[in-house]
């Protein structure tokens, strides 16, 4: 995935802001900062999490990404996509 798309390993929602993302480089160690990580244009975002990641952490990340776009999780149901 990292060979074709921007890929970020984050600890949680606090790593995200509108200007930059704090993340561990894929295959690397330590933390780095990437500016302009979220394009202004509409974009699809894929999320994965390990089995030990609590559901609430994933939910907080989703909520944070949406809030950076001025949206709420409640709006997801009205977007026409499937939810599981």
**Residues 31-66 pLDDT 10s:** 999 999 999 999 999 999 999 999 999 999 999 999
- What's the half-sphere exposure (Cβ side, CA atoms, 13 Å) at 44? 3
Task: Say what the pLDDT of residue 26 is.
Answer: 84
pLDDT classification of 83: cutoffs 50, 70, 90: very low
pTM value is 0.83
Instruction: Please give the pLDDT value at position 2.
Output: 81
Dihedral of alpha carbons 3, 19, 10, 56, sign:
negative
CA 45 to chain centre: 7
């Amino acid at each position: 995935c990292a060979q074709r798309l921007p890929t970020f390993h984050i600890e949680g929602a606090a790593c995200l802001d509108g200007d930059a993302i704090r993340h561990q480089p894929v295959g690397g160690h330590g933390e780095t900062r990437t500016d302009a990580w979220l394009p202004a244009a509409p974009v699809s975002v894929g999320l994965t999490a390990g089995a030990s990641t609590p559901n609430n952490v994933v939910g907080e990340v989703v909520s944070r990404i949406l809030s950076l776009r001025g949206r709420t999780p409640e709006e997801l149901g009205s977007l026409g996509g499937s939810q599981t």
